[in-house]
Amino acid sequence: MSSINYSEKIPNNVNLGEDRTLQRALEGWQPNFINWWDDVGPEGSTNHEVYLRTAVSVDPNGWAQFGHVKMRDYRWGIFLNPGDTNREIHFGDHKGEKAWQDVPGEHRANLRRIIVTQGDTEPASVEQQRHLGLTAPSMYDLRNLFQINVEEGRHLWAMVYLLHKHFGRDGREEAEALLQRQSGDENNPRILGAFNEKTPDWLAFFMFTYFTDRDGKFQLSALAESAFDPLARTTKFMLTEEAHHMFVGESGISRVLSRTAQVMNDLKTDDPAQVRAAGAIDLPTIQRYLNFHYSVTIDLFGADQSSNAATFYSSGLKGRYEEGKRTDDHVLKGQTYKVLEVKDGQLLEKEVPMLNALNEVLRDDFIKDSMAGVGRWNKVLEKAGVPTRLVVPHKAFNRQIGALAGIKMSPDGRVVSEAEWTARKAEWLPTPEDFAFVASLMGRVVEPGKFAGWIAPPVMGINRQPVDFEYVRFN
């Protein structure tokens, strides 16, 4: 079952051909997906042939095949990790029972909501990134952007398959609506805030793929534990693709830092104005971008206390990150967790039932993972002999969701007055001038092996190809 059937219109490893009704329904959705791609997918890319990897098998070894393809001919399809017929639910009230192959009636509405919310993020990021190809800093980076875009398209397919197969008519309607909402659209926006923000430039793109695709990793990991087996298996396979997206973000920022450090050393200065005049991005601007993307992304985990989170866990719909590696009872009744609250203008910790705090648990796991990569970025600065370090802002900084929304916090975790916030906001979050400056650097560089002046070349090419390989053929 793990090999993928490419002889069908929709590549799949779920024996789609045996279910004619489902196959026809998905083949009906397919042209709408292609129209969506043509309308709001990567701008001006229709004739490009891009060196992309395509899944040929879901086996851990060698699932990917590389070759030049036009993106609209990419073999989007339906791939589930191999199933285990004896799999048991390993957390919540149904712990020890057999995993579900179909949706239990009482969990239908919640499961549909979970799948739609996840599915909605996938096309959203393609829409957010659609202009970036016009200002790529290199052909190598352009290829990576396109790889991410087609894989986010495939993630949408993954969720649409579940909706069509398991949710009947409402599922088909939800699948249509996924192509109708649009990132940033005032009347019909994407479901979650961060997916309606702009990704105006490549610094924002690298921060997005580092932080926001990592939110994807944590959400998918929690869903990969689900008692609903088809959801668990499909999200497991999506995780293998997500790893590349985060790599693009982490290595992208490392390369920006490496270039900035080089300019600082050459000029023997840490003056942002001089760094900018030399065509590199100054560290305070990079820090402000980091603050923005980090705070917007941690909002995606939802309210710190949530009865929905408790229901999703107890009913087996959504586990914790690495649920299987934890040594507690996997039921969590009577356990507590610390969350932050604001009282009389001060931040306090308070203990709440852990089941209600599972959004916060996942957010804290995300924070730990994010900080590790920021540490690796700082190594780039350290190695270059630059004393400045990037830091992750306080968890309560710039929050719009949950108990921390509405309070004014400095990045270093002080509650500040409205007046101080207004006076210092420009130190903490990207300003219109920052955006204008970064935009001014975004010229298109696409000759093989050439790189824009604000970013260092990568250490290695893709799939062991040289850095100056022709990753994109413009036709």
In the complex, the residues that contact Fe ion under the rule CB under 5 A are 122, 152, 155, 213, 216, 242, 245
Q: Least distance from C-beta 393 to Fe ion, angstroms?
A: 23
Residue closer to Fe ion (CB basis): 213 or 225: 213
Minimum distance from residue 365 beta carbon to Fe ion (Å): 18
| Residue number, 52 or 456, with CB nearest to Fe ion | 52
Q: Which residue number, 215 or 299, has a Cβ lying nearer to Fe ion?
A: 215
DSSP 3-state of 407: coil
Q: How far is the CB of 255 from Fe ion (least distance, A)?
A: 19
Nearer to Fe ion, 71 or 280 (CB): 71
The three state secondary structure string of the chain is: CCECECCCCCCECCCHHHCHHHHHHHHHHHHHHHHHHHHHCCCCCCCCEEEEEEECECCCCCCEEEEEEEHHHCCCCECCCCCCCCCECCCCCCCCCECECCCCHHHHHHHHHHHHHHHHHHHHHHHHCCCHHHHCCCHHHHHHHHHHHHHHHHHHHHHHHHHHHHCHHHHHHHHHHHHHCCCCCCCCCCCCHHHHCCCCCHHHHHHHHHHHHHHHHHHHHHHCCCCEHHHHHHHHHHHHHHHHHHHHHHHHHHHHHHHHHHHHHHHCCCCHHHHHHCCCCCHHHHHHHHHHHHHHHHHHHCCCCCHHHHHHHHCCCCCCCCHHHCCCCCCCCCCEEEEEEEECCEEEEEEEEHHHHHHHHHHHHHHHHHHHHHHHHHHHHHHCCCCCCCCCCCCCCCCCCCCCCCCCECCCCCECCHHHHHHHHHHHCCCHHHHHHHHHHCCCCCCCCCCCCCCCCCCCCHHHCCCCCCCEECC
For Fe ion, the closer of residues 119 and 137 by Cβ is 119
Identify which of residues 242 and 250 has a Cβ nearer to Fe ion in the complex. 242
CB 260 within 8 A of CB 289: no
Q: 122 vs 434, which CB is nearer to Fe ion?
A: 122
Cβ 245 to Fe ion shortest distance, Å = 4
**Distance in Å, CB of 387 to Fe ion, minimum:** 34
How many residues are there in the chain?
Answer: 475
**To the nearest whole angstrom, how small is the minimum distance from the Cβ of residue 148 to Fe ion?**
6
**Based on CB atoms, which residue is closest to Fe ion, 247 or 421?**
247
By C-beta, is 238 or 355 nearer to Fe ion? Answer: 238
Least CB distance from residue 232 to Fe ion, whole Å? 16
Residues with Cβ < 8 Å from 428, sequence gap 6 or more?
A: 288, 291, 393, 397, 398, 410, 411
| Nearer CB in complex with Fe ion: 299/360 | 299
Provide the minimum distance between the beta carbon of 163 and Fe ion in the complex, in angstroms, as a whole number. Answer: 16
Q: Judge whether 125 and 208 are in contact, CB under 8 Å.
A: yes
224 and 114 Cβ atoms separated by less than 8 Å:
no
CB of 114 to Fe ion, least distance (A): 15
**Least separation in angstroms between CB 226 and Fe ion:** 17
> In angstroms, what is the minimal distance from the CB of 122 to Fe ion?
5
Tokens 């999506």: give the residue. Answer: 238
Q: 213 or 229, CB closer to Fe ion?
A: 213
Cα 150 from Cα 426, distance rounded (Å): 36
